[in-house]
C-alpha cells in the first residue's frame, strides 16, 4: 500500500531509541524525510549515520535537543528553518517512566515530568504549526500518550497524571487546529519491547530469581489478553498509517495499541 508519504518532512522527538527510532525507520521506508532529536548527541550521531546507510538517503537529520528546555527547542527549530524549511508531521514521542510515591515525590520531580510530557508538546506545537502546510496541504501531529493515562500503574503516579494531561491537550489541540487542516491525534502503546523494558526486566527478574524471558512472559500474561509484548515495529507502523492520507478522517482520538490490555471501554 502506498501511503503517500514520499518527501513528507517528519520531526520525531525521542527519536534515537525505542518507539521513536522505530517510527523514524518506518517513515524512511516510505521515502519520507526525517528529523530526529534526542538528548544523547553521541548516540544520535551514530543512529543517523546508520539510518543514512540502511535507507540510502541523506534526508535524515539528527539534532541534539532537551525537550524539557525551551531554549533547546528554539535551537532545534532554528536548525529546521535553516536546513529543512518546513515540517509536515510532528511526533511528540519523548518521555520516560517516573516511579515514586505520591507522599514522597518532591515538587521538582513533578515539574520535570510536567515539562517532559506536557510542556514539551505544547512548545513543540507552537513552533511547529507555523511551518506546516508550506509544501503539502495537510499537517499531522501525533502525541505518544500511554495506556497509563487511562489505566494507571500504582507505582508511577507522576507518569500517569502527566500522560493523562497530554491526552487532554491532544483533544483540545485537535479542535483548534483542524481549521488549519492539521490533524492531531494520540497513540497509547501498551507493553512494547523497548530498551527501557529490557533494562527493567534485567533488574526485576534478578530480584525475583527468574530469567528475563520468564519475567516478560509473566508480565505479558498478567496484563494482556494477547499474552505478549508488541514489537517496536508493530507500534511504529500504526503511527505511520495515522500520519497518512489513508487515515484522513481520524482526528482528536487517543488510539490504544495495547494487545487488549485496556480493561474498560470509553
Q: Which of 159, 169, 215, 229 is catalytic?
A: 159
Query: Sheet containing 89-92: which strands, arranged edge to edge?
Result: 60-64, 33-38, 9-13, 89-92, 139-144, 182-189, 254-257
Query: How many angstroms from the chain centroid is the CA of residue 171?
Result: 16
What is the rounded CA–CA span in Å between residue 159 and residue 167? 12
CA angle (11, 14, 17) in 5-degree steps: 115
> What's the longest Cα–Cα distance across the chain?
56
Q: In the annotation, is 169 catalytic? A: no
Q: How far apart are CA 249 and CA 262, in angstroms?
A: 24
Quote the radius of gyration of the chain (alpha carbons, Å).
Answer: 18
Query: Residue 73: CB partners within 8 Å, gap ≥ 6?
Result: 65, 67, 120, 123, 124, 127
Place of cell 507502523: 237
In this structure, how many other beta carbons lie within 10 angstroms of the beta carbon of residue 239?
A: 29
Take residue 48 and report the three cell numbers written for it.
543517523
Of 254, 217, 226, 222, the C-alpha closest to 238 is 254
Residue numbers annotated as active site: 159
Amino acid at each position: 500500500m502506498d501511503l503517500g508519504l514520499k518527501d513528507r518532512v517528519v520531526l520525531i522527538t525521542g527519536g534515537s531509541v525505542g518507539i521513536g527510532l522505530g517510527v523514524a525507520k518506518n517513515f524512511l521506508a516510505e521515502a519520507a524525510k526525517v528529523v530526529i532529536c534526542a538528548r544523547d548527541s553521541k548516540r544520535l550521531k551514530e543512529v543517523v549515520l546508520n539510518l543514512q546507510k540502511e535507507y540510502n538517503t541523506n534526508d535524515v537529520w539528527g539534532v541534539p535537543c532537551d525537550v524539557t528546555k525551551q531554549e533547546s527547542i528554539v535551537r532545534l527549530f532554528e536548525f529546521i528553518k535553516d536546513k529543512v524549511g518546513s515540517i509536515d508531521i510532528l511526533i511528540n514521542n519523548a518521555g520516560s517512566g517516573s516511579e515514586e510515591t505520591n507522599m514522597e515525590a518532591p515538587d521538582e520531580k513533578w515539574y520535570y515530568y510536567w515539562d517532559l510530557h506536557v510542556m514539551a508538546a505544547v512548545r513543540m506545537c507552537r513552533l511547529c504549526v507555523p511551518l506546516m502546510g508550506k509544501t503539502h496541504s495537510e499537517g499531522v501531529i501525533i502525541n505518544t500518550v500511554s495506556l497509563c493515562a487511562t489505566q494507571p500503574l500504582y507505582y508511577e503516579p507522576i507518569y500517569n497524571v502527566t500522560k493523562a494531561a497530554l491526552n487532554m491537550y491532544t483533544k483540545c489541540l485537535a479542535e483548534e487546529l483542524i481549521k488549519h487542516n492539521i490533524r492531531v491525534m494520540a497513540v497509547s502503546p501498551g507493553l512494547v519491547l523497548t530498551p527501557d523494558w529490557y533494562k527493567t526486566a534485567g533488574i526485576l527478574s534478578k530480584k525475583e530469581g527468574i530469567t528475563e524471558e520468564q519475567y516478560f512472559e509473566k508480565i505479558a500474561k498478567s496484563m494482556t489478553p494477547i499474552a505478549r509484548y508488541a514489537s517496536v515495529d508493530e507500534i511504529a507502523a500504526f503511527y505511520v498509517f495515522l500520519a497518512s492520507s489513508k487515515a484522513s478522517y481520524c482526528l482528536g482520538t487517543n488510539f490504544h495499541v495495547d494487545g487488549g490490555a485496556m480493561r474498560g471501554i470509553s
